[in-house]
A and B are shown apart, each in its own frame.
Chain A
Amino acid sequence: MPDDAKPAGVFSAPCACQEVSEEDRYAQLDDILRTYRNIPGALIPVLQITQTIFGYLPEKALRKIAAALNKPLSEVTGVVTFYSFFNTIPRGRHMIRVCLGTACYVRGGKQVLAALKEELGIDVGETTADRNFSLDVGRCFGACGLAPVIMIDDDVHQRVKVSQLPRLLEQYRDKQDTTSKT
């Protein structure tokens, strides 16, 4: 699943709805596994669907998948950790993506990324302990003229300076309670 394809349909529930419970998600996974049980080559599609259900790939789900598809857990995690679009850590409430396209890279994108890592105390692909932010990199968001660019959720921030970062992050921290769950 590409980073920016937010699963709008299935689980970002209408506002009146409660968050989908853990149990429901596993029930859904069980359904999927029943369907795919005997289909060869099912591993990757099942992993993709599972990631849509949970937002990431929890270990418990991986164990279930391994058992249902009759594959060793080591093989399943081998596949999961090979492809960068799979995530075994839950996503933060806010997704920060730093553009490392050529223009951004030469105009400070690299420094911005380093500063973000430092500020958040995480590496690319990781999530902060308070689950506020996840950090990722991207390849050109189409705003090269205004490099360096970062995206936080759906907002594009241009000509980002390292010194602005703490303030920028603060805005999102404040918003956390009103943000919809993804």
Chain B
Amino acid sequence: MVRIYINDQEYDVPAGTTILCAAKKAGIRIPTLCFVEGLRPIGACRVCVVEVEGVRNLVASCSTPVAEDMRIHTHTARVRRARRAVVELLLSEHNGECQTCERNGQCELQSLAAELGIREVSYRGEKARKRIDISTPALQRDSGKCIKCRRCVSVCNEMQHVGALFPQFRGYQTIIGPALGRDLASVPCVQCGQCAAICPVGAISERDHVEAVWAALDTPENHVVVQTAPAIRAALGECFGYPPGTLVTGKMVAALRRLGFDAVFDTNFAADLTIMEEGTEFLMRLRKAYVEGQQDVLPMFTSCSPGWVQYLEFFHHNLLPNLSTCRSPQQMFGAIAKTYYAKKLDKRPEDIFVVSVMPCTAKKFEASRAEMNASGVRDVDAVLTTRELARMIRIAGIDFQSLPDEEMDAPLGLCTGAGVIFGHTGGVMEAALRTVYEVLTGEDLPTPTLLATLDGIKEAEITLKNVRPEWSFLEGVTLRVAVAHGLGNAEKLIRAIEAGERQYHFVEVMACPGGCIGGGGQPRFTDNRVRLARIAAIRKEDAGKPLRKSHQNPQVKQLYEEFLGEPLSERSHKLLHTHYIAREPV
């Protein structure tokens, strides 16, 4: 322990604590801008400066550890002046209008200016050059609004191990972005949107699909259906004043109906369908490995996270054959809605307009992939992030808090608990094992093996006993599985696998930390506390479901009976599976 004094009050804090952290524990708020808990301090903005007795210059509290007998002053006149100077300088260069900005009302630069009581900007600097980058289907970047805090650089490099963003040029010319200040599409960016989620201002956000959805809803001939991913119900409430972790499934359905969607469906239905296909594919790969000796078909990697899929497409071409051929639930839903469901309504695929609500920006990219037209037309027409849906609800004047709870529509709205847990890290694996284990042994999966924690890499083993006769070659086999979230963790796992240090049968990867509940399209701001709260909400929804295994979903069963035949059938193959592209990384 170290004895320190903050604003003349005595505190004992653990050695190695930063001044910022010590002050926070003491109930003193020091403003920050570039600092993000959980990431290495960047030290770029100097908003967090404090005065330390005996030290001539002000020090950045986010990156300075405490020392014995340190006397710290957090809000002296000198400190206040320095912070104001920093923020006024940022404002003088900032090229944006709050009134028309996506971040209006929830912008960290705005609230910082308010917190510091800035009433005028005494510098008259040149404005940052405004350049809008809409080169990718997922993200919009506006260099004029960038305050060069470099959070996105940390996230893209450290957390995601992609490295699409980096400071370019120097001094006043500095821009934060892809190589040579070019467009995002010129570098390998997986479009996960974690940069958009962490950006304090309106410099990175999702490509807007709101207008396209309004237009579809306003066209009477369209039959507009909406699917919502599991992670939405666990986070949408945050946009309407509920604390993180509030489950708002019923109100969300009610809001979607009031927005005018003709049918409100659940991506979880397609998640159950995914488990049927992916579980069967896994069993097929096990057979190939154990009976036909084709060891290299294992491990199988999950394929529902489009950021992860593109990560392999860019950086690990040799692993593409190990990626499950299953489309993601979003795309399975689109294909089924425009074929099976359309037929039920006696409509053509092109008469159905499919909107998804996703926690994810990469889903916009996924929906735009050339091969995603199994129904003959684009399978998913528009993808809204959680944030965009919240915006639409507000624009429509819907008072979210006072909505009743409503139920999803049939037939694509029913799901089991297994479909729900797709929303958090480890969930797809758990859902798959619930079904696979039962198929193999006829019994329930012994207690959930993969806990919904935020450990970067989780592993589990299940030994198969009393397997059914047709699977006898698996008797006594110990299935080894692993789960990683955040592409940095995925990269670590891949390296361990490629070095032969680790061997698995099945690996789940989600590009975003925490899985979909921490996606790049979720309400800002997402930290680990928020992630855990959203995971708890998802677990609650799972626990409340009468059916908790995908193969029990009666509507999925019906879909197979009436339309698909069986998993991996020819029709399934056409509608529910896909192939991948090796992309040049530079």
B570-586 to A contact mask, C-beta < 8 Å, 1/0: 00000000000000011
The tally of residues in A whose CB lies under 8 Å from a CB in B reads 17
Task: Indicate whether A78 reaches chain B with its CB closer than 8 angstroms.
Answer: yes
Q: Which of B160-168, B197-205, B206-214, B470-478 contacts A (4 or more CB under 8 A)?
A: B160-168
Residues facing B in A63-79 (CB within 8 A) are: 63, 66-67, 71-78
| B180, A77: Cβ atoms closer than 8 Å | yes
Which of A71, A74, A77, A84 is the most central at the interface, judged by chain B CB atoms within 10 Å of its CB? A74
Task: Indicate whether B299 reaches chain A with its CB closer than 8 angstroms.
Answer: no
- Say which residue of A59, A63, A74 sits within 8 Å of B166 (CB atoms): A74
- Min CB–CB distance A144 → chain B (angstroms): 27
Given A67-B585, A67-B586, A71-B163, A76-B179 contact (CB < 8 Å): yes
- Min CB–CB distance A58 → chain B (angstroms): 12
| CB-CB nearest in chain B for A66 | B586
- Min CB–CB distance B582 → chain A (angstroms): 14
- Min CB–CB distance B29 → chain A (angstroms): 33
| A74, B169: Cβ atoms closer than 8 Å | no
B89-126 to A contact mask, C-beta < 8 Å, 1/0: 00000000000000000000000000000000000000
| B180, A75: Cβ atoms closer than 8 Å | no
Task: Indicate whether A88 reaches chain B with its CB closer than 8 angstroms.
Answer: yes
| B585, A74: Cβ atoms closer than 8 Å | no
Given A77-B166, A81-B168, A63-B180 contact (CB < 8 Å): no
- Min CB–CB distance B283 → chain A (angstroms): 37
Inter-chain CA distance A67–B164, complex, in Å, is 14
Inter-chain CA distance A73–B167, complex, in Å, is 12
- Min CB–CB distance B167 → chain A (angstroms): 5
Which of B168, B169, B585 is the most central at the interface, judged by chain A CB atoms within 10 Å of its CB? B168
Q: How many A-B residue pairs have CB under 8 A?
A: 48
- Cβ contacts under 8 Å, A74 to chain B: 163-166, 168, 177-179, 187
| A77, B168: Cβ atoms closer than 8 Å | yes
| A72, B187: Cβ atoms closer than 8 Å | yes
Task: Indicate whether B56 reaches chain A with its CB closer than 8 angstroms.
Answer: no
Inter-chain CA distance A76–B164, complex, in Å, is 11
- Cβ contacts under 8 Å, B169 to chain A: 81-82
- Cβ contacts under 8 Å, B529 to chain A: none
Given A66-B586, A67-B586, A72-B187, A77-B179 contact (CB < 8 Å): yes
Task: Indicate whether B344 reaches chain A with its CB closer than 8 angstroms.
Answer: no
- Cβ contacts under 8 Å, B166 to chain A: 72, 74-75, 77-78
- Cβ contacts under 8 Å, A75 to chain B: 157, 163, 166
- Cβ contacts under 8 Å, A66 to chain B: 586
A145-166 to B contact mask, C-beta < 8 Å, 1/0: 0000000000000000000000
A49-69 to B contact mask, C-beta < 8 Å, 1/0: 000000000010011001100
| CB-CB nearest in chain B for A67 | B586
Given A67-B585, A73-B187, A78-B164 contact (CB < 8 Å): no
Given A77-B179, A77-B180, A72-B162 contact (CB < 8 Å): yes
Inter-chain CA distance A73–B314, complex, in Å, is 13
Inter-chain CA distance A66–B180, complex, in Å, is 14
- Cβ contacts under 8 Å, A77 to chain B: 166, 168, 179-180
- Cβ contacts under 8 Å, B179 to chain A: 62, 72-74, 76-78
- Min CB–CB distance A71 → chain B (angstroms): 7
Inter-chain CA distance A73–B164, complex, in Å, is 8
| A78, B168: Cβ atoms closer than 8 Å | yes
| A63, B586: Cβ atoms closer than 8 Å | yes
Given A63-B586, A67-B585, A77-B168, A72-B180 contact (CB < 8 Å): no
Inter-chain CA distance A12–B586, complex, in Å, is 31
Inter-chain CA distance A71–B179, complex, in Å, is 12
- Cβ contacts under 8 Å, B163 to chain A: 71-72, 74-75
- Cβ contacts under 8 Å, A59 to chain B: 180
- Cβ contacts under 8 Å, B165 to chain A: 74
Which of B157, B164, B167, B586 is the most central at the interface, judged by chain A CB atoms within 10 Å of its CB? B586
| CB-CB nearest in chain B for A78 | B166
- Say which residue of B170, B187, B585, B586 sits within 8 Å of A81 (CB atoms): B170
- Say which residue of A73, A78, A82, A88 sits within 8 Å of B586 (CB atoms): A73
Inter-chain CA distance A82–B170, complex, in Å, is 5
Which of B157, B180, B585 is the most central at the interface, judged by chain A CB atoms within 10 Å of its CB? B180
- Min CB–CB distance A160 → chain B (angstroms): 28
Residues facing B in A19-66 (CB within 8 A) are: 59, 62-63, 66
Q: List 20 A-B contacts (CB under 8 A).
A: A59-B180, A67-B585, A67-B586, A72-B157, A72-B162, A72-B166, A72-B188, A73-B187, A73-B586, A74-B164, A74-B177, A74-B179, A75-B163, A75-B166, A77-B179, A77-B180, A78-B166, A78-B179, A81-B168, A81-B180
Known: A72-B164, A73-B187. 20 other contacts (CB 8 A): A59-B180, A63-B586, A67-B585, A67-B586, A72-B157, A72-B163, A72-B179, A72-B187, A74-B163, A74-B168, A76-B179, A77-B168, A77-B180, A78-B166, A78-B167, A78-B168, A81-B169, A82-B167, A82-B170, A84-B170
User: What is the interface of chain A, defined by CB distance below 8 A to chain B?
Assistant: 59, 62-63, 66-67, 71-78, 81-82, 84, 88
